[in-house]
């Protein structure tokens, strides 16, 4: 018995994991496949007859409307990404393939949920420039920001300061309480450092128990001294109750300023590192 493929097509459309939309020239949804409930949280009958623009993320509306104009002018769009709002208010990232059919006066689009892919890409970008434990800037990004900061300081004839911080006797915490507790202490250090910074400053974990801080637009050495004292004060505060009887370790901080202590990134890093070790030796 011959198979009636024409009769199978609607069933095949509803079996697709991607969602199929059919929209008229006025943006009204004429048809949507069953997969829309997984994509947007709406049943097909809830979407049919409504405007597809109602579900677009407002921040992507202008970009999406420009894409629609291109599609309706006859250009196939097979790799357009935008965001839609789900029924529960959450955001879904969608990859579209769309085409306008002049004879039928409809736009057909196939929508794929790429939210997980977008989140994975964002996480990879974040991890490329941040310390995975503390979430602070990593050595590579910090160096880039230091170089950029030096360039800006040179152009504007301003100053900047570099702080190099080391946790005293941190190895004792790891050896006594274990690396899991040591990691929690490092994360506490990171959050306390962040609380001391302005939006224009940068804190980084260089590795182990060593941290750096970039202070831009510094007006005087007194401002640097004030910042160091602020950091020392917050680091001296007791650890939370979740740490039990563990004491917050002290820290040693070395400083280097542009242009007094050097005019390039490597020189300033070496100067701040050396200053930190001198402080540590005399504590």
Q: What are the structural domain ranges in the chain?
A: 5-119, 130-281
pLDDT band at 77 (very low <50, low <70, confident <90, very high): confident
Q: Is residue 5 over pLDDT 90? A: no
- What number does CATH give the domain 130-281? 3.30.70.270
Which residue out of 209, 264, 266, 273 is catalytically annotated?
209
Q: In the prediction, which pLDDT does 4 show? A: 65
| Eight-state DSSP code of residue 135 | -
CB-based contacts of 216: which residues, under 8 Å, 6+ apart?
149, 152, 153, 158, 160, 200, 201
Q: What are the residue ranges of helices labelled H in 130-253?
A: 139-156, 170-177, 179-195, 221-235
Q: In the prediction, which pLDDT does 54 show? A: 95
Q: What is the mean pLDDT of residues 257-274?
A: 95
User: Mean pLDDT, the chain, as a whole number?
Assistant: 92
Higher-confidence position of 3 and 153: 153
- Tell me, yes or no, if the two domains 5-119 and 130-281 fold the same way: no
Nearest to 239 by CA among 138, 166, 167: 167
Of 45-49, 245-249, 270-274, the least confident: 245-249
228-244 pLDDT, tens per residue? 999 999 999 998 888 88
Phi/psi for 267 (5° steps) reads -65, -45
Q: In the prediction, which pLDDT does 142 show? A: 97
CB-based contacts of 233: which residues, under 8 Å, 6+ apart?
none
pLDDT band at 273 (very low <50, low <70, confident <90, very high): very high
103-153 pLDDT, tens per residue? 999 999 999 999 999 999 999 999 999 999 999 999 999 999 999 999 999
- What number does CATH give the domain 5-119? 3.30.450.20
Say how many CA atoms lie within 13 Å of 135 toward its Cβ: 8
Q: What is the mean pLDDT of residues 216-225?
A: 88
169 counts as catalytic? no
163-203 pLDDT, tens per residue? 999 999 999 999 999 999 999 999 999 999 999 999 899 99
């Amino acid at each position: 018995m011959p198979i009636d493929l024409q009769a199978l097509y609607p069933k095949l459309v509803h079996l697709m994991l991607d969602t199929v939309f059919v929209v008229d020239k006025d943006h009204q949804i004429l048809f949507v496949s069953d997969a829309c409930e997984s994509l947007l949280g709406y049943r097909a009958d809830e979407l049919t007859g409504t405007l597809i623009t109602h579900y677009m993320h407002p921040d992507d509306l202008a970009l999406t409307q420009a894409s629609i104009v291109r599609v309706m002018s006859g250009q196939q769009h097979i790799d357009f990404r935008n965001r839609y709002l789900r029924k529960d208010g959450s955001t879904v990232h969608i990859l579209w393939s769309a085409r306008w059919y002049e004879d039928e006066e409809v736009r057909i689009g196939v929508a794929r949920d790429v939210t997980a892919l977008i989140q994975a890409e964002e996480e990879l970008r974040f991890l490329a420039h941040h310390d995975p434990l503390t979430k602070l800037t990593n050595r590579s990004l910090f160096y880039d920001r230091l170089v950029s900061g030096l360039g800006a300081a040179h152009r504007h004839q301003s100053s900047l300061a570099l702080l190099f911080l080391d946790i005293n006797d941190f190895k004792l915490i790891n050896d006594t309480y274990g690396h899991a507790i040591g990691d929690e202490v490092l994360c506490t250090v990171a959050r306390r450092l962040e609380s001391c910074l302005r939006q224009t400053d940068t804190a980084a974990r260089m590795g182990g128990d060593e941290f750096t801080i970039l202070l831009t637009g510094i007006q005087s050495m007194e401002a640097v001294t004030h910042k160091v004292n602020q950091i020392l004060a917050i680091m001296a505060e007791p650890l939370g109750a979740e740490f039990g009887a563990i004491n917050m370790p002290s820290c040693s901080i070395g400083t280097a300023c542009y242009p007094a202590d050097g005019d390039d990134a490597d020189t300033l890093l070496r100067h701040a590192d050396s200053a930190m070790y001198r402080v540590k030796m005399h504590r």
